[in-house]
Structure 1
């Protein structure tokens, strides 16, 4: 699993300061994708366990959530990293363009964003979006948290 970049983000999970890992190798190739450079497998640096753990340790007490932008195509590695984050007290989230996600991955998530990017429908901040942001435990749709009031 290669991480193209890492950022501390505030908008991907409302109410959370999140550590966001953008994973390369996306197989979906959505029309109008804002990050086509992520299609190439192996772009960025290998997300080693030691590097990942160091980041989570560094931000412990500041950040509350770990977000993966993709990576579900590396199921075993993703699950291991989600489990580690949870064991350290972090909430977890996955952003995927898929409509559904493997149950083995899903059971290690607090939140899940599904749905391909459709430039005609917009993202989570659009009332016409095809994407869903849900709280996994309750299956409650939380798209309203992204809409501008």
Structure 2
């Protein structure tokens, strides 16, 4: 079971989207310098499909995307929740932030519109650093993913 600590409506995590970001606890990555170390403990509320539907309903029409911020503790559950969104809320895009260096084999990538991969490495910086090791991938119409990390860099 996945647990979440809180949610927020965000505008920068997935380009051109108004995103309901769900902060998932129990992160096993524990990146040194992580800005979300409060997500390391496995605590909070159960993230069920019913809870997910309620969070989406409460967020309302402004949202265009649901973003799972974490979930590396149970990627298969993130995948199940993405499938639920695809079926029950087809107008919404779906994104996932994983701290792993590769997408889990338990993920059906076609269920996601965006996937951010890579642990935070302080000396390389986050997505907004041109030196970052992290990558933001966006699914193309042909099902492949393109790297759009440079969209985060300040010009």
TM over 0.5: yes
1:104, distance to aligned residue in structure 2 (A): 4.1
Coordinate RMSD, CA, aligned? 1.5
Residues 91-142 of structure 1 deviation map (CA, whole Å, 9 limit, x = unaligned): 1111011011124422311111011101111111110001000113332110
Please name the residue that 1:45 is paired with: 45
1:76, distance to aligned residue in structure 2 (A): 3.5
1:61, distance to aligned residue in structure 2 (A): 2.8
Please name the residue that 1:67 is paired with: 67
Q: Report the TM-score when normalising by structure 2.
A: 0.88
Q: Report the TM-score when normalising by structure 1.
A: 0.91
The answer to whether the Cα contact below 8 Å between 1:65 and 1:93 also exists between their aligned partners in 2 is: yes
- Runs of 4 or more, structure 1, over 6 Å off, are none
Which blocks of at least 5 consecutive residues in structure 1 are unaligned? none
Please name the residue that 1:134 is paired with: 137
Alignment of 1:1-149 (within 5 A): 1-41=2-42, 43-87=43-87, 88-89=89-90, 90-105=92-107, 106-136=109-139, 137-149=143-155
Residues 1-22 of structure 1 deviation map (CA, whole Å, 9 limit, x = unaligned): 1001111110000100001111
